[in-house]
Every structure is written in structure tokens, then in C-alpha cells.
A and B are shown apart, each in its own frame.
Chain A
């Protein structure tokens, strides 16, 4: 569990971080280190240089910006949990982050680090998808904004290009009266979801008026459930069951040590149904 030799540089500013990225070809960016360091200790990753962006001031902070909530990429889970802007405006994000890792992980792990890692079993991508998050990516050439739906390209692969950093995450306000829920059944060892669903719904006059559903641990990152049949329904048992079935159908028929394929697909249906039911009960 000793990594191969590497050079470590702590960036003091965004400009310095970008300059370092440009001048070190075999560099990896590190913030909380909770995804990168374990693979380095197993020597499955052997970067020549680590550029530490955890203390870059421009990558921190949670504030309102042009109607959105703006979150710096190096914001820790702990900072998210302590933010009333998050807990009051985006209870879904709070609910999700509360359950990530343990206290030590939440103290160091960062929102941007998790999103840029693009682990299909990570909780946050599904939450970003249903919240309609926008990712602000920065490079020496300037910034560009990538919607979450285009940011998570495939397992462990994001839309970030060489020399580019994730700088900010922008969350547009939830629809008025929206109910949200993030629900998982986790495997006991790692705490990672065997299946998870993030849901944002609105309702009016006994009907579902909008619904966004995205999945965790479905086999690939960024899977969003088609809710066209659910929207307009009464959100009752039959509609929820159909939504769950759609989530199951979207889940890969591959299993692992903890969740064989048939169980995972079944479970995805259950957690989706339950998350949607809870979200509906929370909608006003």
C-alpha cells in the first residue's frame, strides 16, 4: 500500500494550477484524494506528478450566482452539509451527501473530485442529473459550461479535456413545490450503492406534472429514466411500479460480488419506486 514515487505540487491559485497542468504531462489532479490515492497505493495508477488543488481559493465557496447556486469544485462534503443554501434550496443534495462515506471521508472528499472521477457507482452524478447541474470547466483558454447530461460521458470518463479543470458546479433552482429523494440500498463493506435512484418530481391536482429520475450503479454513469409515462399519471402504485420497471430495464445485466445481476436489476426497480413515492410525498 505504498504508492510509486511521485512529485507533489500544491497549487496556490487557479492560474498556477492550470499552468502546472500545462507543463506536466503525466500529472494527475488531486483534491480530497479519496478516489485517486487508493488506486495509487495499489499501484494501478502511477502518475509522475500530483497537482494538489484542494487549497485553490477560486475552487471554494457556495453562493448564489445569477439565480443558480454556485459551488466551487473543491468544496468538501462537510462544507456542503454545513451550508443552509444547500440544505434549504437543495435538500436532495444534502440528503445524498449526508450518507457518503464517513466523517473522515466527508471532511476531505470534494464534490468536484467525485464528479470528475465519473464512478458509475458514485451517488453524486445521479443527483446532478436530476438537478440539471451545469459544470463550469476551465482551462488556460478560458471557461465553458457543460450540462451534467453531457459531462458524464462514460464510466470513469468525463467531458473534461486535457489541461482542463472542473471549476464550479451551478445548480438551477428546483421547480416550485418540487419533492426530491435520493434512495439507495448500499453494500455493507464499502457503503457504495448496489442500486440507487435520485428523483425530482412536481405534482398538481393529483397528477404528476414533472419528473426526473437518474440512477446510481446501473452499470454505466449518467443513466436517466424515461419518465414520459409517469408524468401525467396519478403517481399511484401502478405508475410507480411501471417507473420501477423502467429503471430495472435500464440496468445492466452484470453483477458483482455483492449484487448479482438479477438482484441488482430487481433492486433498482425497488429503490426507484420507493424514491419516487417519497419524493411525491414531499412534493407540495
Chain B
């Protein structure tokens, strides 16, 4: 019962934050509601017993990635979003299509499946157990990930550097 209450409360916070992200016009408000969504999701992960995932959700997502977003919003001095008139057909067809899709998926999941229940802390995701998997079974993907991160760092530096500073570095060798 307690599990269900906690799930519902933080699920509602999640959905509220996601809807607020759509409704806000200023990017900084959207970014802060995304932080709320990520924090509430970390609690949902804890309810499922995924302690390590909840911790890195807070540190990496709500911490690092969102700081990057807020930093870029402030750096570019992003103002309010301009309202542009979209296609009327897209509104008339798109919103009913999204709602119909959601209703069908929810109905199929809730009424037609007996997928079972997830008990509170069903699968304790201790860091030690995850590390055991990560450094044995998933060692190759883990190493490939490190190459990916290295390429991402170099790409970010090259893309964000000012053209004139790149030229100067080339000339000076």
C-alpha cells in the first residue's frame, strides 16, 4: 500500500513536471521542470530497488547534464520562445492521434496483460553487483563507451571553439 502511494505521488510529480516543460515558454523554466522530473524519477528507481541507478540519475542527469543545459541557456541569453503559427491540420490530426495512441497503449497494458508486479526493492541494485556485471559480462561495451565519451569531448571542444582561435592554434602549430 505504501509502495503504491509513493509510486502515485512521485508519478504525478513526474507527469506534472513533464507537462509543465511543454507549457512553459521560457527555456529556463522548462529546464527547471526537467530537473523536477529527473528527481522524481530517481525516487521511482529507488522504489524499484535500483540504488545505483537512482544515485547516478541524480548525479549525472539532474546534476551534470542539467547544469550544462542551464549554462548554455544563460550563455546564449535565450529569451522567450516566439509563437509561430503551426499547421492547423497538424493540430487537428496530431492531438487526437496522440490521445488515441496513449489510450490504446494504456488499455493494452492495464487490461490485457498479466505482466506481474514489482515488489518494493524487488531487485537490489547494489553498486558491487552492477560492477560485477559491468566489468565481466559487459566489459567490451563499457570500453567502447569510454571511446565514445572521448570522441564526444573532442567533438564538443572543436564545435564550440571560436573559428579565429582555431586558426591561431593552427598557425602557432
- Do A and B make up one complex? no
